[in-house]
């Protein structure tokens, strides 16, 4: 198992190779990429900023949870920081397991938890020249003080 916040371009093929083991019969590779439209806005690119230390530890926690729940250590997750262009990979998740069902479920768990918990923020740049933090307009509160309870 390995996780990392990465400044340079991600290489999905390298992650596939990293989880390859003869004990596994299924490998799920998830690649999240920068999309040209978001909520009706034409996007030209984006910047990710992260709470560096916490993002590293939270990403590792999420992968450990998946490893324990689906009983595989063949998990590698990388998330980008910095500036990304359209089509570039923002996150890559490789999960290998003896069976496909578990591989799919573990992969899905990791991306969904990461979207809820990873302290990373996205500033989108639009074709018309504006830029905005995603999810942070108007009242930005999650109000999820239960997150502390769950993880305490």
Partner 1 sequence: MTVRVLLFASYADALGASEVALEMPAGALVRDVLARVKSLASGKRIPDKPLVAVNQRYAREDQAVTASDEVAIIPPVAGG
Site residues for partner 1 per CB under 8 A:
32, 48-51, 53-55, 57, 79, 90-91, 111, 114-123, 133-136, 139-145, 147-149, 151-152
User: Minimal distance in Å, beta carbon 49 to partner 1?
Assistant: 6
For partner 1, give the closer residue by CB, 20 or 52. 52
Q: What is the 3-state secondary structure (H, E, C) of the chain?
A: CEEEEECCCCCHHHHHHHHCCCCCCEEEEEEEECCCEECCEEEEEEEEEECHHHHHHHHHHHHHHHHHHHCCCCEEEEEECEEEECCCEEEEEEEEECCHHHHHHHHHHHHHHHHHHCCEEEEEEECCCCEEECCCCCCCCCCCCHHHHHHC
For partner 1, give the closer residue by CB, 19 or 93. 93
User: Minimal distance in Å, beta carbon 134 to partner 1?
Assistant: 4
User: Minimal distance in Å, beta carbon 113 to partner 1?
Assistant: 10
User: Minimal distance in Å, beta carbon 75 to partner 1?
Assistant: 16
For partner 1, give the closer residue by CB, 98 or 119. 119
């Amino acid at each position: 198992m390995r996780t990392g916040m990465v400044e340079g371009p991600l290489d999905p093929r390298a992650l596939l190779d990293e989880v390859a083991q003869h004990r596994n019969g299924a490998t799920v590779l998830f690649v999240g990429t920068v999309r040209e439209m978001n909520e009706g806005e034409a996007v030209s690119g984006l910047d990710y900023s992260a709470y560096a230390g916490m993002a590293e530890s939270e990403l590792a926690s999420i992968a450990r949870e998946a490893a324990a729940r689906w009983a595989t250590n063949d998990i590698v997750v990388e998330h980008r920081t910095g500036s990304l262009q359209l089509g570039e990979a923002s996150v890559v998740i490789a999960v290998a397991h003896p069976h496909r069902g578990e591989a799919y479920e573990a992969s899905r768990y990791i991306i969904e938890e990461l979207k809820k918990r990873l302290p990373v923020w996205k500033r989108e740049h639009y074709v018309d020249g504006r830029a905005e933090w995603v999810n942070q307009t108007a009242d930005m509160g999650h109000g999820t003080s239960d997150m502390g309870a769950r993880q305490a």
